[in-house]
Structure 1
Amino acid sequence: MSVFTGWRAALRIARRDAMRAKGRSALVVAMIALPVLGVTAADVTYRSVTPTLAEELSTEMGAADALFSDPGMGAGAIQQMPDAKSYSLVSEKGPEPGSDPDARRTDIGAALPEGAQATSIQSVPATVTTRYGMTTTDIVEVRTADPMVRGRVDLVRGAFPRGDGQLAATEPFLKKSGLRIGSRTTLRGAERTYTVTGVVEQPDDLKSAALYAEPGAVIAPWRAAAAHDKKVLPPNAGVKEWLVKGAHGAGVSWADVLAANERGVLVVSRKVVLDPPPDSEVPMARSMSGSSYGGSEELSVALITVVAMAALEIVLLAGPAFAVGARRSRRQLGLVGTCGGDRRHVRAVVLSGGLVLGGVGAVVGVGAGLLLTMVFRPVIEGWAGHRFGSLSVHPSELLIIAAIGLVTGLLAALAPAIVASRQSVLESLSGRRGIRRSSRALPVLGSVALLAGIAIAVYGGTTGDSTPVAGGSVVAELGLLCCIPVIVGLLGRLGRRLPLPPRMALRDAARNRGRTAPAVAAVMAAVAGSVAIATYMSSSLAEADYEYTPVIAPGTVALFASDSRAVERLPLARAAVERNLATAGGHADVGRVWAGSDCSVYYESENDCGSVELIKPTGKGHSCPLTGKGAKELAASLSADEHKKLMRSPACLDETQYSSSFDGETGGIVVGDAAFLSTYVKLRDPAAASALAAGTPVLLNPAYARNGEVALKAVHRYSDQDKENRKLHPGKAVTRTDRLKVYQAPQRYATTPGVRMILPLRAAERLGLHTEVNGSVFRVAHAPTDAEDQRVSAAIELAGGGLYLQSESGPGNRDDTILLILSLFAGVVTLGAAAITTGLAKADAEADLTTLSAVGAPPAVRRTLSGFQCLVVALTGVLLGTAAGLVPAVALRLVDLRQAVQNMKVNPVESAYTPIVLPWATIGLLAVAVPLLAGLLAAAFTRSRQALARRAG
């Protein structure tokens, strides 16, 4: 028999065996196909979501040949690289500071090539009415119906705007504003009303909230209204770009680009970018020589890691299935031996099973990956925030992925093939398994590797090197893998006093370690990665929360007037806030204080207004020990917790707290009363309220007080432009430092955002300071939503405008999408591994289950036994995976801690707080919910009654 003839026969036997055991074959195909599906979908998605150079140009300039823009560097000549990503002035002299932006703008129209067609694009931030009230958004003027715009702005539904009274909106703007096609919105200031005629999108930014109008429909009336009201426009408001189509379809050449550069215009030309000129023709090329970009090596390492992990999952989960299949077919394999076949023919039969099922799984996985990517393309584009240029499929990469799946199927069948070939013909025909002892060296080696890996990872963490962390974590996980057979063997001893089903499940897992241990290892590998990433992310979020400093006290909102004229409209604005927000307990007024000329008015000279400030005493308890002489030595001697405690002390709060709208020019001195004390500071102290009523300031930060007094320095300086006060106070500035008795609030109120001391109106008048009520604070049940904020803005605008609302939104939104995906991935692998192991246990222990039924065991025992078998695998794998995942997470946080401590030594006031926070929600989901679900599903899908089979032989 030739080699090829033997393999043909082996493949035929494997194919027939796979068709006979359809359930087991489906499990193997599924476990091979799932990782192949994931890698295929990831490959196609990555290739599709990463735009090519031509696709980038299409989203930037639509169907035009070039994009001409003003780089904002004045009207002088510039030089640029062919891709326009780097540019500079030819002359070092830039625009004069403070010069008129309009006078410095480049005339792009004069730089267009002769005979070219062009359409302009310009945008302004403007306030428009919404369903809820008012909001500020970008309004873009561009002829959206022009074919040149296709690709940069596309119509989703409805119609493009035509005429001065129509607008198109993006989907995010409609969702935010509550408007729809056919709704009307009014441009505030110009008081012009427009109708929304369609929904458009920017393919490269699907999350953009903007409005689109025809050229001249919005910006001209908006500018006229701003000029009438004497409002200062934003510096870049209305800056134009031009989409250009070259004459006679010739495009925009490099010569056209250089000519535009002479006029100070930056050009992105499709023709030039796709076919750049030689460096000898690029004036700027010399300064860009030697540039290089990295990242490909890291990408290759990540790709290899992903493929290796997928292959490991396949081998761990599919290997036991082939082993059970070989045992189920041992009589058939024995017959091969009786017909003259030797060990290599037996190996060929089992390996052919891996080849057949691996090939089917690879093909199914690649096909399903492509199909799922196509089906979920809109969802993926929404996550990415931009459209695919096209569904990019690289056949060579898909063939490699399929080949990996095929080879992995062969590897999964390799160990069962070797074991099957070593069995004697007599054992195979009689059905005896023989006695096999577990390796005694393997757990010892695993224990040593586990301890060594932990030590290496911790060493890498303490030295700040992430390479030993990664290596040590892998070694520790491999060591734990080696220990799993022993751990599974110990499970049998835990069920001595348990009822029959859990006792049998534990003993079956311990007796059949060949199929239990790989499934537990697969679960452990998936859970370990998920727990490691989730732990690191949770710890990083806790660190960000600690370092975040609120600008407004949580649970409150503040309403401020932008100028003295707007103060008169405060009562109407307060009513609007109380009517539209979930306020509780009324409001409290807050005022500002100043000396000399009002510093909120703009003066040309920086010393043209007065100032008021608290003078912090020197010495222990007043000066922050982490600033000044000896600070670095002190920081080096502190632990992270000690540094954290010191930075939270009143003396050091000024180094970490950011200014807020209360600070102004007075460093946290505000004019308020008992209502402000209880509403904003949340200090309900009758003694403090009485002190304010008596004209005594309340000090929140005790570091500014000595012997119950504070030093208040006021510089009375009057500007030459402040003519009235200048006549009353001629001459040089007058500086006064007064010592005031204060009431000291408890130290915990020192962290109140933006406020160091509350100055009563009586005390300010006694000191000859100027005061003005410029806002109010409110307690609220929750931060304002978009709709509530729009309602308040509309009400304030109707009252005359000039006021704005400030609220505390917290350290940022917590996007748990990544943690959710990791939990789902680990949960699916856990369920899959537990289900496969349970199915294999049923197939492997059919004789035992038949015996149970024969001796009168209740039907529910069979169902309960399957549930506990599934629960044992899932729970054991999850617990081991959680322990394994904590090793790299803790080690990486040690790396962060070392880096933070080094930064603290350079800048002593920088925080070195690096917590390790366990993701209890993720761990609870994986350790409790998923194993219970696995057990319940296994019990539910198991038949409780079994027909008695005829005894073989």
Structure 2
Amino acid sequence: MSVFTGWRAALRIARRDAMRAKGRSALVVAMIAIPVLGVTALDVTYRSVEPTAAEKLTAQVGSADALFRDPEAGPLDQSVGGDDYNPLSEDPPAPEDAPALDLRTAFPKGARGISIQSVPAHVTTGYGVADVDVFELRTSDEMARGKLDLVDGAFPKKSGEMVATEPFLKSAGLHIGSHITVHGPERKYTVTGTVEEPDNLSLKALYADPGAVIAPWKAVAARDKKVLPPNAGALTWLVKADGGKGVSWSDVMAANKKGALVVSRQVVLDPPPDSEVPLLKKRGTSQMPETSDELSAALITIVAMAVLEIVLLAGPAFAVGARRSRRQLGLLGTCGGDRRHVRAVVLCGGLVLGGAGAVVGVVAGLALTAAFRPLLEEQAGHRFGSLALEPKELLAIAVIGMITGVLAALAPAIVAGRQSVLESLTGHRGVRRSSRVLPSVGAGALVIGVGIAIVGGTTGNSTAVAAGSVVAELGLLCCIPVIVGVLGRLGRALPLSPRMALRDAARNRGRTAPAVAAVMAAVAGSVAIATFVSSKDAEGEYDYTPMFSATSVALYASGEGGSTPAEQLVPAQAAVERNMHTTSAPARISRVWAGSDCDTYYEDENSCGALELLKPTGKGHTCPLNTTGAKELALRMSDEEHRSTMHSPECVDERYTIDTFNGGGSNVVVGGPALLRTYVKLDDPAAAKALEAGTPVLLNRAYAKDGEVTLKAVHRYSDKDKKNRALHPGPARTRTDRLKVYTADAKYAGTPGIRMIMPEKTAHRLGLHTTLYGSIYSVSRPPTDAETQRTDAAIQQAGGTVYVRSGSEAGDRENIMLLVLTLFAGVVTVGAAAITTGLSKADAEADLTTLSAVGAPPGVRRTLSGFQCLVVALTGVLLGTAAGLVPAVALRLIDLRNALKEMRLDPMESAYTPIVLPWATIGLLAVVVPLLAGLLAAVFTRSRLTLSRRAG
């Protein structure tokens, strides 16, 4: 019998055996298919989520040939992609002085175009009113397809109709058929459909035909002598060339001479040589496509762990299958077959089932990606141009899955080949001692892997981190049989079912250990990424500087329309109290300035004077991270010391100052005790008493010296401010005053937008001007879109020009990635535990038969299955959590290294790189998932056993 004949026979036997044991075969196919499915879906998603150059162009120009816009720079030279340009004039006019350009004069001869024009508008909603951008675009024109697509309903057909994006309709409580009133022209429009910009699915916008909104708005503004909102009337054009010949590079350069900037599909996809691009000639640079020589260590690790999981999960199934077929394999020996033929049969079983699993996995991965494509696009924030399928990559994934099936059958094939014919025919397994070498090697690999990962983290080598993490995980894998054996000794004091489950796991380590390792591998990856993401979130929260308090709502009164700010605030406050969750009475806040009326626009930024809170020098006033020797000092500090210094009163204003309340560069505002309690959260009777007595309250003590602050005021009056100019003729006057202050505790130094609160009578005593600016509430939570819109509607109905502002948190900690990783790890954990339970039942059928024969209650079989599943799941989750911390810590070390580099350049940059454990994810995996796995195993296990005739 030739070699090929022997393998053909082995394949035939393996195929028939697979068809005979359909349940076990389906189990193995599923275990091979699941990781292949995951890698296939990951590959297709990864390729699809990054838009191609053509898809990016479609998002910009739709189905047109080019997009024309006016950068208001006169004649220019541009880059091939239209993302950069240089004016040809050495002294180009300012945008407001540039002559208006009719872009249609720059079109190629015979070209047709549609305009895009936008204006910010105040519109009615289902809850009240909201601000939204309104675009005028002929949405029904084919040139807009790809840039703007219809989702539902119909495009506008007349001037009283609009379409809207789904995010706007959802936030506004509207739907197709709803009516919207645009305030300004006060015209009503009907929503006829929903649209989306494929490259920006979260956009909130309205679309109308040209002339439907802006022209009426301009007419009303001209009649009432009002100023249009900023940016109203800025035009861009989508252009289609005559005859479908496209917009060539010569057309682009001709348009550049007229002052137009062009993004041409033809030019971007087929760029001219660098020698024909004037901008490159002048700059002496070459356009090079963005490339990356780095291999993704994360993707390599994912593929490696997928292969490892196939081997770990499918290997025990092949081993059990070989034991279940040992009599058949023994008969093969009696018919003249030797050990290589026995090995060939088992290996061919791996080839057959591996091939089936690979094909099923690839097909299911493609189908699953297509089914979940809308969800993936929502998470990515843009539509995929198409599902990018790389046949070579998909074939490689299938081949890896098939080869992995063979590798999973390799160890069982070797064991089956070593078994004597007599043992195979009688069913005796023999006695084998556990290897003492494997745990020792595993412990060494664990230590070495951790060391490699840590070294990779400290040197910034992500590939070493990935390699070290895999080595450490493999080392821990080698130690699992010993760990499982130790668990078996813990069952002596337990009831029957858990005791039997632990002993069965310890007795059949060849089946239990790989399943535990597979769970460990899945959980380790999830915990590693979840820990890294949680740590980055914590770092982002630390670096976050709020523009406004998260638990506050502010009302800003403009004083327009003939009424005073105080009169405008009364109905606005009632609206806030009625629609938002306020927890305090309103606290008034006023602006303070030193010169002309700051509510009037002046070309000179200092026309209304200047007010500055001078900071003393020396210890306790100067930030140590902004002085000579700061770099060395920062490197000597621990993370906590540097963090504390960064947030100290001396340094909190050194990076940037946020002017929340228009209080000038020094953030000095006028207010009373209510402002302390409401916004500052300073509930101090002494501070309130000081304000009532006319003493300012200083929140940042670094500005005080000997209990006093220095306030420098430059009194400057513009000729436009005739009233104050008559009282204060002549040049600007500078006045410096020393003021006694009440100094608050250091923790109030970082209060957003305020450094000092001054009583109104003190400001007047210093010759400063004040005006009521608004009021502030404390709220139990930030308001929703609906609450904000209801409040705006009530304010507008009252006729006041009052703006509402609410705070925001540092970020949304409910990261979708953590949820996906947790679900993935949970599914693998439940699956691996269920497979092990199924293998346990198949492998221990004789023991269960004996158990029933000696009178064990029917429920014992159910509870035994549940505890077997629980043991595998819980052990794998705990070991996986420990293994996942290795790459997470190493990657954070890379972040620390990069942060230290930045801090050496700028000591004010934070090197704070915390390691935060995702306790919610860990708790879900360590408690909920194992209990769920055990419960499902118990529920789906039959309590009654059908006794079968003993074979042989």
Please give the TM-score of this superposition, normalised by the length of structure 2. Answer: 0.95
Tell me, what secondary structure is at the counterpart of 1:115? coil
CA distance in 2, matches of 1:280, 1:663: 51
Tell me, what secondary structure is at the counterpart of 1:654? coil
Cα distance, 1:385 vs. partner?
Answer: 2.8
Cα distance, 1:167 vs. partner?
Answer: 1.0
What letter is aligned with 2:66? A
Structure 2 residue 361 is the aligned partner of structure 1 residue 365: yes
Structure 2 residue 477 is the aligned partner of structure 1 residue 478: no
In the TM superposition, what are the counterparts of 1:379-778 in structure 2 within 5 Å?
A: 379-562=375-558, 567=565, 568-655=567-654, 658-662=657-661, 664-665=663-664, 667-778=666-777
| Equivalence for 1:141 | 136
Contact 1:138 1:209 survives alignment (8 Å): yes
CA distance in 1, matches of 2:146, 2:696: 63
CA distance in 2, matches of 1:231, 1:366: 63
Distance 1:3 1:924, change over 3 A: same
Cα distance, 1:681 vs. partner?
Answer: 2.0
CA distance in 2, matches of 1:740, 1:117: 68
CA distance in 2, matches of 1:823, 1:271: 46
- Greater Cα shift, 279-288 or 495-504: 279-288
CA distance in 1, matches of 2:355, 2:830: 24
Cα distance, 1:571 vs. partner?
Answer: 2.2
What letter is aligned with 1:592? R
CA distance in 1, matches of 2:51, 2:759: 62
| Equivalence for 1:77 | 76
Contact 1:124 1:237 survives alignment (8 Å): yes
CA distance in 2, matches of 1:614, 1:255: 58
Contact 1:593 1:666 survives alignment (8 Å): no
| Equivalence for 1:60 | 60
Unaligned runs of 5+ in 1: none
Cα distance, 1:141 vs. partner?
Answer: 1.3
The percent identity for this pair of structures is 69
| Equivalence for 2:791 | 792
Cα distance, 1:278 vs. partner?
Answer: 4.4
Please give the TM-score of this superposition, normalised by the length of structure 1. Answer: 0.95
CA distance in 1, matches of 2:640, 2:724: 52
Structure 2 residue 256 is the aligned partner of structure 1 residue 257: no
CA distance in 2, matches of 1:276, 1:290: 12
Tell me, what secondary structure is at the counterpart of 1:60? helix
Contact 2:72 2:95 survives alignment (8 Å): no
Distance 1:914 1:386, change over 3 A: closer
Contact 1:663 1:755 survives alignment (8 Å): no
Cα distance, 1:443 vs. partner?
Answer: 1.4
Contact 2:301 2:466 survives alignment (8 Å): no
| Equivalence for 1:354 | 350
CA distance in 1, matches of 2:618, 2:84: 53
- Greater Cα shift, 885-894 or 872-881: 885-894
What letter is aligned with 1:411? L
Contact 2:155 2:163 survives alignment (8 Å): yes
CA distance in 2, matches of 1:297, 1:114: 44
CA distance in 2, matches of 1:875, 1:922: 14
Cα distance, 1:48 vs. partner?
Answer: 4.2
Distance 1:473 1:167, change over 3 A: same
CA distance in 1, matches of 2:361, 2:738: 79
Unaligned runs of 5+ in 2: none
Tell me, what secondary structure is at the counterpart of 1:584? coil
- Greater Cα shift, 505-514 or 216-225: 216-225
Cα distance, 1:163 vs. partner?
Answer: 2.0
- Greater Cα shift, 847-856 or 26-35: 847-856
Distance 1:86 1:757, change over 3 A: closer
| Equivalence for 2:104 | 109
Contact 1:143 1:213 survives alignment (8 Å): yes
Contact 2:122 2:131 survives alignment (8 Å): yes
Distance 1:847 1:7, change over 3 A: same
Pick the aligned partner of 2:265 from 256, 261, 270.
270
Distance 1:294 1:308, change over 3 A: farther
Contact 1:74 1:94 survives alignment (8 Å): no
Cα distance, 1:524 vs. partner?
Answer: 0.9
| Equivalence for 2:6 | 6
Cα distance, 1:920 vs. partner?
Answer: 0.3
Pick the aligned partner of 1:247 from 242, 246, 254.
242
Structure 2 residue 201 is the aligned partner of structure 1 residue 206: yes
| Equivalence for 1:780 | 779
| Equivalence for 2:92 | 95
RMSD of aligned residue pairs (Cα, Å): 2.4
Contact 2:33 2:360 survives alignment (8 Å): yes
Cα distance, 1:288 vs. partner?
Answer: 7.3
In the TM superposition, what are the counterparts of 1:732-881 in structure 2 within 5 Å?
A: 732-881=731-880
- Deviation per CA, 1:565-587: give whole Å up to 9, x if none: 66252223222222222223321
Cα distance, 1:326 vs. partner?
Answer: 0.5
CA distance in 2, matches of 1:580, 1:715: 42
What letter is aligned with 1:697? P
Cα distance, 1:825 vs. partner?
Answer: 0.8
- Greater Cα shift, 23-32 or 402-411: 402-411
What letter is aligned with 2:25? S
CA distance in 2, matches of 1:390, 1:896: 35
CA distance in 1, matches of 2:51, 2:633: 52
- Greater Cα shift, 155-164 or 393-402: 393-402
Tell me, what secondary structure is at the counterpart of 2:327? helix
CA distance in 2, matches of 1:947, 1:876: 32
Contact 1:44 1:393 survives alignment (8 Å): yes
- Deviation per CA, 1:208-252: give whole Å up to 9, x if none: 221111111112222344455665556643322222222233333
Cα distance, 1:512 vs. partner?
Answer: 1.2
- Deviation per CA, 1:732-765: give whole Å up to 9, x if none: 3333332222233333333322222221122222
- Deviation per CA, 1:345-398: give whole Å up to 9, x if none: 111111111111112212222222232233323323322333333344444443
CA distance in 2, matches of 1:285, 1:618: 50
What letter is aligned with 2:333? G
CA distance in 1, matches of 2:244, 2:950: 86
Tell me, what secondary structure is at the counterpart of 1:783? coil
Pick the aligned partner of 2:315 from 319, 325, 349.
319
CA distance in 1, matches of 2:361, 2:344: 25
CA distance in 1, matches of 2:680, 2:200: 42
CA distance in 2, matches of 1:17, 1:427: 20
- Deviation per CA, 1:34-70: give whole Å up to 9, x if none: 1222223333334444444444444433333333222
Contact 2:488 2:506 survives alignment (8 Å): yes
Distance 1:595 1:243, change over 3 A: closer
CA distance in 2, matches of 1:952, 1:428: 13
Contact 1:121 1:242 survives alignment (8 Å): yes
CA distance in 1, matches of 2:593, 2:193: 52
CA distance in 2, matches of 1:407, 1:838: 26
Contact 1:254 1:272 survives alignment (8 Å): yes
CA distance in 2, matches of 1:779, 1:265: 50
Contact 1:123 1:239 survives alignment (8 Å): yes
